[in-house]
Structure 1
Amino acid sequence: MLVRLAVVGAIAVPFAVGAAQPTNDPPAEGTEVTRFADPEIVESSGLAVVDGRFVTINDSGDPGRLFVVDPATGETVGVTRWEPDPVDVEAVAPVVEDGAATSEVWVADIGDNFARRDSVEVLRVPVAVGDVQVDPVAYELVYPDGPRDAESLLTDPATGRLYVVSKGPLGGSFYAAPEVLDADAPNELELLTAAPVMATDAAFLPDGRHLVVRGYVNAHVYSFPALEDLGSFVLPSQPQGEGVGVDPDDPDAVLLTSEGLEQPILRVEIPERLRALMDPADPDAPVDPELDGADGTGRSDDGAEPDPAGGPPVWVPVGIVGLIGGGVLAALAIVLVRGARRR
């Protein structure tokens, strides 16, 4: 794991930095909500808030289990286990029915570093206090454009529909799952539009009209359902940030987790300039360039113009040009290190 963290720290971070043209914002300040106390939580790679508790999973290589954490103490108060072990779990997202959250989460077995899996899957897993063994229902997902690596799963808080964001050094894509999943047949995802580079997790905000996609260094805010990139902000430094979640009672902030032992859960406020775009006081008022980005398009300077076909952004991110040669080899190194660790 230490080798992997060193590689990602040296290589993946430059990809993420180069992926967003710089803004004038300093890194956002994070407030520690609590800290994982369980020595078994070593690679937190997803986060959800269920019944007032934090739910997380370890990255690939872990058996089938999720951890339920008390936000007041950081102690694990429940572990839900299942068999068989997943291939590469990367995210969790709340299960929503009839517009209301349940006491379950979707566990996303969607990692695919080598893009070799013909299909991936999500499992519907109950969240419970205590040590619980379950037999979750699994749903097979298939990409319409071939295998993809992904680490982001999110749930529409109004409809419960699932969305996947693929991960790539030159950009990913948003995909929508069918409105109703079929447990007995493959469920083909629908390709929507372009997504930021190196997306490590995503979550809908409580209003259901916006969502956040995070990477290792920054996070983008998108409108929904238009999926317009409103802009990004720089995240606090983390060893390997791969989790983002939201508190349903805190619409102006996101929660962040990172891989590593005894890592904190950080609360980070969405910058005011982006909140102003999300919910302007007067939608007919003239655009303020200081809040809306220099070009007045509704994005900050780092916004990407999506490719209608759903591929990577049509611009080549600043910094990527100089990293293409070494970056490709570096990305392969990350993949090889991760793949070597799998059982």
Structure 2
Amino acid sequence: MEKLLLCLAAVPFGIGFLVSADAAQPEDGDVVLTFADEQIVESSGLVVRQGLVVTVNDSGDRNRIFTVDPTTGGTVGMTEWQGEADDIEALAPADEGHVYVGDIGDNANRRERIQIARVPFGPGDSEVEAQTFDLVYPDGSHDAETLLTHPRSGQVFVVAKAFIGRLYAAPEQLDEGRVNRLTAVDEVLGIATDGAFFPDGRHLVLRNYTQAAVYTWPALDRVALIDLPSQPQGEGIAVSEEGEVLISSEGQGTDVLRVALPEEVRAQVASGAPPASSAAPSEESSTAATPAPTDAGESAPVERDWWPWALGAVAGLVIVVMLLRSLRPR
């Protein structure tokens, strides 16, 4: 009971973080395609490369990805690979013609290690022996649904799905023959369900069910928080080679939408200063004090209104009172 009440105490904080009042409103998303394949029922990861859309079903499916023609919404290829899936949740671009598939979900927070696979995509059905890489967190197990790769270095990143998210960096060179140890980088968007780098390698975007956050790289200064178009259960996000942002949702026959970033966000992404390095920031730099913002386009500190926290506090109090009343002797 004490553990349950402790978990409920986090409710107001979760609502306060997730229901933020500083989001910039985007335009409604344009429909790019509608998934026509009845086997695509839980699009959880999304990649757009070489004029094709790649997606993967959420947990419960086997080791397979779908390559979709964006002009028709029809599946033109399916790739399967060896082994049994534990909890596939994410996709990220790999080298040309390949994606990384993230078997990184862990709702019970009990997996000793997670795994990603390098899998080819494209027209035609195939079964392959995929390269697989085991990863381990430095601070215990985490549930995760977000996998990213830097467009220049190819380095892989994972974002833990929690009220306060945390980004972890894999070694710059993955080793198939050993367990690859992740390194904690910094706190990011809470309850993240997917993410992607922009082509310049200087910015990335993370999403949760209702919002997306754009960050600089490698400083991880947040440029903007954007309300996303309504979706049944929006989880996937991708950035094309041209910098277009697309989002997908779970559900059969769902739409892939194009998100028009607000003008000030597009300007920030276009004019951001290049980073000193495309590699992940060091542990020392990620914990250093953030310099004060200037008028030269740096992002200002996030300011949150009081009402999301009040709403969360009321919701948490109501839940606790109802639970205690249900346990009274009758």
- Give the distance between the partners of 1:161 and 1:299, measured in 2 at CA: 28
Select the residue among 287, 290, 293 that pairs with 2:295: 287
In the alignment, structure 2 segments of 5+ residues that lack a partner are 1-10, 275-293, 321-330
TM-score by length of 1: 0.77
Structure 2 CA distance for partners of 1:37 and 1:274, relative to 1, 3 Å: same
Number of residue pairs aligned between Structure 1 and Structure 2: 288
1:268 aligns with 2:259: yes
* Conserved 8 A contact 1:16-1:215: no
Gaps of 5+ in 1: 1-11, 97-101, 304-314, 329-343
Aligned pairs for 1:175-324 within 5 A: 175-249=168-242, 251=243, 253-280=244-271, 287=295, 298-299=299-300, 301=302, 318=309, 319-324=311-316
**In the TM superposition, what is the alpha-carbon distance from 1:326 to its structure 2 partner?**
7.2
Partner residue, 1:71: 70
| 1:135–1:277 CA distance, 2 compared to 1 (3 A) | same
| CA distance in 2 between partners of 1:26 and 1:240 (Å) | 19
Give the root-mean-square deviation of aligned CA atoms: 2.7
Aligned partners of 2:253 and 2:60: how far apart in 1?
19
CA distance in 2, matches of 1:222, 1:83: 36
Distance 1:137 1:299, change over 3 A: same
Equivalent of 1:133 in 127, 139, 146? 127
Per-residue CA distance 1:277-305 (angstroms, 9 max, x = gap)? 3334999xx739xxx7xxxx6147458xx
CA contact 1:47–1:257 (8 Å) conserved in 2 = yes
> What is the CA-CA distance between 1:16 and the residue it aligns to?
6.5
- Point out the structure with max Rg over C-alpha: 2
Displacement, 1:230? 1.5
**Distance of aligned partners of 1:324 and 1:112 in 2 relative to their CA distance in 1, 3 Å threshold:** farther
Deviation at 1:327, TM superposition (A): 8.2
Paired with 2:189 and 2:313, the residues of 1 have a C-alpha distance of: 16
| Counterpart code for 2:245 | V
Instruction: Name 2:37's counterpart in structure 1.
Output: 38
Shift in alpha-carbon separation, 1:256–1:24, aligned structure 2, 3 A:
closer
Q: Which amino acid counterpart does residue 135 of structure 2 have in structure 1? A: L
Matches within 5 A, 1:141-156: 141-156=135-150
Q: Normalised by the size of structure 2, how large is the TM-score?
A: 0.80
